[in-house]
Structure 1
Amino acid sequence: MFVGTRKDAYGVRSVVRLVFVLLAVLSAFARAETTHVFNFTTGWVNVNPDGVGEKKMIGFNGHWPIPDIHVNKGDRIEIYLTNGFDDLPTSLHFHGLFMNTELGNSNQMDGPEMVTQCPIQPGDTFLYNFTVPDQVGTYWYHSHSGAQYTDGMRGAFVIHDPDMPFDYDEEMTILVSDLYDKPYYEVADFFLSQYNPTGAEPIPRNILFNHTTNNTIHFDTDKTYLIRLINGGTFVSQYLFIEDHDMTIVEVDGVYVDPTKAKLLYIAAGQRMSILVKSKHTKSKNFAFMQIMDDEMLDVIPADLELNRTNTISYSSKNGEAKQAYIDSFKHFTNDFHLVTRAKTELLDTYDYQIKLNVEMENLGDGVQYAFFNNITYVAPKVPTLLTALSAGKLATNPAIYGDNINAFVLEYGEVVEIVVNNHDAGKHPFHLHGHVFQVVQKSGGREDGEDPIDYDEKNPVSAYPEYPVLRDTVVVESLGHVVLRFQATNPGIWFFHCHVDWHLEQGLAAVFIEAPLLLQERETLTESVLNTCKSGNIPTKGNAVGNEKDWFNLEGLPRQPAPLPAGFTFKGYVAFFFSTAVGLWGIYTIAQYGLGEVVPDDQELAAQLKALLNNK
């Protein structure tokens, strides 16, 4: 098992801290604040987003899709979220927002349940109350309770910049996503069951473009458009391109980059990218805005699955809908590793603390396939990790009190942290860090299933370290590849690091960074919302991971991952057992059907039904 390793401290952290405090004070004086108040109640809404059939989606106040939120830099946001479900908890996360305690915000506003807050129980209301003092750009907000946002509890969150560093005439926001037939909890139940021993991710029935298919957006001639792109999906990455139009990338994940021309974009779940597009001089033709599933992520491609979706850029309604456009290869999308921050943020050329995380996918003794960092699959504690940190006094710096089931790492204030993710899985993983952007300092290519993984070798990196590395909060690690990330720990809080393929998070692919907890204790007081939701859910607000305040190292009753497979019982054995059992049961069924004089399906139909079972169709 890998553990974190720490170099000698630089001895300048008190100076760094003072600088940040002074900047916070100056920022508070400089900004003109407007308060935006929203009252949202969750609930199910019957809609037909793709024209295939009615589907229950999660709306606010009886409407779906939920609203996009647009604010200006420096504004305050108050969201009163009432849980209108009968029997489900909920929460909200503001993806990409720092909730920086240096600048007066609270870590309690970050949103992931059992990490920074208790889940909001049916009938309860939680107040998310924060400012956006130092961030601009494209973000989004979504539920962080299980895979709940799969059913549409997701929307854009845009912070407008009064000092935009480039010119454009109009802007628009496009959220691409995926859509499933059944409610998220049914899909997750089947996915995490012995009936899916290979861990095959559920296949969506469709991909959406601003909550529908075959959408149309309107262009005027001789204008420059800023298009904010968000992948708010649960699973598949998407390729995007516009027929016969150049795209210029100017922002990724809320960070401006040097303008970079692109013909093809690749956006994984959780990522955002803003582009400038210049329109044509005439209205003689309408053009395709293509979105295409990354089908390499799919274990099976059902015959009725539409991998490509054609949306229309309309210059004139007289021209009709655009026809599907084509590209020569998917290999030439713009690699985010080569983007350069507009602010020329220099490489953090060394680190104080290195965290190595190996990604594995394995079956445990219950027959379910789980996801692991360093042989540990995340299992939520009985007390939200933030509440343990705030109530632990000096023990808050000891990772043992948070349990051995969450991949807890304690970070010191001001240190440079390096995260090394070695992917030993044949799938791609977009990893997201709450509370920070990170520098992407190394990023390998991928390999085919069955080949050896490309683990990071610090003495022999796969490429030169960039002088001005791209800054992101969500990055893709390729199949059997690796990424190396660096950031400075100047935002005290409890920050989740996890795969944004939400099915993989449900499998446990997550870690928790406990950043400067003693300083956090000085700044945080539990809000009434946190206390009330914990009380409603019968969840302790103090103590270690199991709520023990008397013996902080006694973790009796801690929720843990299932026991491993019995010795000698391999994953292949489970697969063989599953199919042998399925065939045997089918044999019994066919005999019974024959005895009743009914027609028995042929082998081809049997194969189709088994495939449908595995795909949760």
Structure 2
Amino acid sequence: MHFLLASTALLALLKPDPTSAATIPSVKSVTLDIVNKNLAPDGFLRSTVVANGQYPGPAITAIKGQTLQVLVNNKLTDPTMRRSTTVSFDGIFQTSENAYNEGTAFVTTCPIAPGASYTYEVDLADQAGTFWYHSELSVQYVDGLRGALIVYDPDDPHRSLYDVDDLTTLLQLGDWWQNSTLPLLAGYEATGIVPVSDSGTVNGIGRYQGGPAVPFAVTNVVYGKRYRLRIINQSARNVFTVSIDNHPLTIIEVDGVNTVPHTVDKIGMLAGQRYSVVINANQPVANYWINAPFVGGLPARNLHQNATLSRSILRYKGAPIAEPTTPWTLGPENGTALVEADLSPLVATVPPPPDVTMTLDLQVIAGQAIWNVNNISYLAPKVPTLNKVLAGATNASDFDPTENTFVLPAHKTIEIEFPPTDDDDAHPFHLHGANFWVIKSMSSPDVNTVNPLRRDVVGVGGTGTTIRFRTDNPGPWMFHCHIFWHKQAGLATVMLSSPADIRQAVHPSRAWQALCPAYNALPAELQ
């Protein structure tokens, strides 16, 4: 595939070389054909919505400083699923000038109609790390449209800690449903019960209870080498706990932010979160389990679900082609688990004191698929937020109440507090357009205003969570739960920074301006 860098070429680019910047093209072109294809990730064949015919979609790789031009061709035809689409690039900020390429349906764009194409321009600027892309239309990515986006840094400050970092060291975790999203969503809206997945997948492969013994995915290693594993939770609901038997995990990056190395045995990962870890292949040559059990609803609601079947294999060169013979050793009661509050950025930044303080209170209407943020259930407007801003919308009153849009001043520090809840469930809240300081993690009672972690997906709930972010990137940026069933049920807001600056900075292309008229002209069954 023309947009995947070969490992050897990539490693050459990553070597410290003062002339290497001149050899890296400033623009990289990628093509994603969004198609329906019959696939069986867990052994059950079903129609899917996927990029380039595969689940997960092809990994997009780039070098820090490049601009991606991602041509999306919508070739969807299956009437059992949504046939329009969008693609969002999670964790990539997008500058205010480029907000119209951000890909959030009905916030920064209209969807791409079936049979149409659109090229997203993604300016990576100075970002590097582990990201991913997925459909941002309704719950469409549940049907398979999700994949990795890796931005390599030739001057990675952690480069001395590992020997191998390429596409063979990706671990992409996903929850998988054997039914398509339209009936699943209808069932959720009728009962208020979030669908329970049939299985979990690691690098696109899983098993379900009573199903075929699909061969597990394999990560190959060589004794004596150190590997940077980039782990992405691409789920729409499930929380995965990742461990590798007999191999500690040294965390060096969280959601695109380099961190002080921190070693644990297992990591709990919410939907949308990403971690880079270093493992040392220093154990006896053998096969070892890469464990990724998950939680996500009551298993009694889906008898296919067996969370312990969510796993893959770490295979040393010279080991037999076989499954590990050792039992899973890091159950909930064993091993050192990550405590988010123990992480700190490699380069500490002291968050400025807040200029604006907000409280977001999350509530669900019992027995219904309705979630509220401050008593408002988000409902996507017919005219996207950005279109309204470009047409003159400036104040909160210029938007429908159900858009739950907070108008924020430019170049200020915003603090958001999520009050404690009666349970320990975590909603993974994700901010578009920026990341944030985690002033108080739900994993700890402590408040950190000295060197707090920065990330773009954080768990809220439990003992309460507090974050701060800067409005230095004007735009309408969605802030929502990354359990997409909850987002679809209204658990979302829009953080609108400086409408006047947006109007001055944003000059959309004709192709973008054509998206809404084309989408609005479609019959409902094609939207």
TM-score > 0.5 by shorter chain: yes
1:428 CA drift (Å) = 2.2
Report the equivalent of 1:292.
293
1:64 CA drift (Å) = 4.2
Report the equivalent of 1:169.
163
Distance 1:144 1:242, change over 3 A: same
* 1:253-298 Cα shifts (integer Å, max 9, x gaps): 0000000011110111000000000002642x22111111125x53
Residues 201, 311 of structure 2: 8 Å contact kept: no
* 1:495-528 Cα shifts (integer Å, max 9, x gaps): 0000000110111100001111111111111222
Report the equivalent of 1:329.
332
* 1:67-106 Cα shifts (integer Å, max 9, x gaps): 10000011121112122123621100000000023xxx50
Residues 443-522 of structure 1: pairs in structure 2 closer than 5 A: 443-444=441-442, 462-479=445-462, 481-522=463-504
Which residue of 249, 252, 276 corresponds with 1:274?
A: 276
Residues 241, 293 of structure 2: 8 Å contact kept: yes
Residues 339, 443 of structure 2: 8 Å contact kept: no
Residues 360, 425 of structure 1: 8 Å contact kept: no
Distance 1:264 1:415, change over 3 A: same
SS of 2:398's partner is: helix
SS of 1:68's partner is: strand
SS of 2:230's partner is: strand
* 1:470-494 Cα shifts (integer Å, max 9, x gaps): 0010001234x42110011100111
1:466 CA drift (Å) = 4.2
Distance 1:304 1:149, change over 3 A: closer
1:150 CA drift (Å) = 0.6
Report the equivalent of 2:9.
none
Q: Distance in 1 between matches of 2:351 and 2:31?
A: 42
Q: Distance in 1 between matches of 2:24 and 2:307?
A: 46
Q: Distance in 2 between matches of 1:302 and 1:119?
A: 32
Report the equivalent of 1:449.
none
Residues 245, 330 of structure 2: 8 Å contact kept: no
Report the equivalent of 2:391.
391
1:314 CA drift (Å) = 0.8
Tell me, yes or no, if structure 1 residue 58 matches structure 2 residue 58: no
Report the equivalent of 2:265.
263
Report the equivalent of 1:85.
76
Report the equivalent of 1:17.
none
SS of 1:150's partner is: helix
* Fraction of identical pairs, as percent: 28
Tell me, yes or no, if structure 1 residue 67 matches structure 2 residue 44: no
Report the equivalent of 2:104.
112
Q: Distance in 2 between matches of 1:256 and 1:31?
A: 25
Tell me, yes or no, if structure 1 residue 149 matches structure 2 residue 132: no
Residues 385-424 of structure 1: pairs in structure 2 closer than 5 A: 385-392=385-392, 396-422=393-419, 424=421
Amino acid at match of 1:476: G
Report the equivalent of 1:613.
none
Residues 27, 69 of structure 2: 8 Å contact kept: yes
Normalised to the residue count of structure 1, the TM-score between the two structures is 0.74
Distance 1:463 1:173, change over 3 A: same
Residues 340, 441 of structure 2: 8 Å contact kept: no
Structure with higher Rg: it is 1
Distance 1:339 1:483, change over 3 A: same
Q: Distance in 2 between matches of 1:496 and 1:425?
A: 26
Residues 125, 529 of structure 1: 8 Å contact kept: no
Distance 1:377 1:421, change over 3 A: same
Which residue of 128, 135, 139 corresponds with 2:127?
A: 135
Tell me, yes or no, if structure 1 residue 523 matches structure 2 residue 514: no
1:345 CA drift (Å) = 1.4
Residues 200, 299 of structure 1: 8 Å contact kept: no
Tell me, yes or no, if structure 1 residue 209 matches structure 2 residue 205: no
Residues 569-588 of structure 1: pairs in structure 2 closer than 5 A: none
1:347 CA drift (Å) = 3.1
* 1:398-422 Cα shifts (integer Å, max 9, x gaps): 1110111121111111110001123
Which of structure 1's runs of 4+ aligned residues deviate more than 6 A? none
Q: Distance in 1 between matches of 2:217 and 2:267?
A: 19
Residues 33, 76 of structure 1: 8 Å contact kept: no
Q: Distance in 2 between matches of 1:464 and 1:375?
A: 27
Which residue of 222, 225, 228 corresponds with 2:227?
A: 225
* 1:340-367 Cα shifts (integer Å, max 9, x gaps): 100111133x21111211000005xxx7
Amino acid at match of 2:306: E
1:130 CA drift (Å) = 2.5
1:424 CA drift (Å) = 4.4
Residues 246, 283 of structure 2: 8 Å contact kept: no
Which residue of 95, 117, 121 corresponds with 2:113?
A: 121
Residues 430, 480 of structure 2: 8 Å contact kept: yes
Q: Distance in 2 between matches of 1:428 and 1:469?
A: 19
Q: Distance in 1 between matches of 2:426 and 2:242?
A: 18
* 1:192-215 Cα shifts (integer Å, max 9, x gaps): 11xx1xx22111000000000322
SS of 2:502's partner is: helix
Distance 1:130 1:319, change over 3 A: closer
Q: Distance in 2 between matches of 1:503 and 1:423?
A: 22
Gaps of 5+ in 2: 1-20, 207-215, 522-527
1:431 CA drift (Å) = 0.3
Report the equivalent of 2:342.
338
Distance 1:30 1:425, change over 3 A: farther
Q: Distance in 2 between matches of 1:30 and 1:133?
A: 16
Which residue of 509, 533, 536 corresponds with 2:518?
A: 536
1:49 CA drift (Å) = 0.7
Q: Distance in 1 between matches of 2:470 and 2:358?
A: 13
1:425 CA drift (Å) = 6.9
Report the equivalent of 1:611.
none
Q: Distance in 2 between matches of 1:192 and 1:117?
A: 25
Residues 199, 304 of structure 2: 8 Å contact kept: no
Distance 1:538 1:423, change over 3 A: farther
Amino acid at match of 1:182: N
Tell me, yes or no, if structure 1 residue 192 matches structure 2 residue 183: no
Residues 314, 321 of structure 1: 8 Å contact kept: no
Gaps of 5+ in 1: 1-28, 447-461, 540-617
1:538 CA drift (Å) = 2.9
Report the equivalent of 2:306.
306
SS of 2:237's partner is: coil
SS of 1:176's partner is: strand
Report the equivalent of 1:543.
none
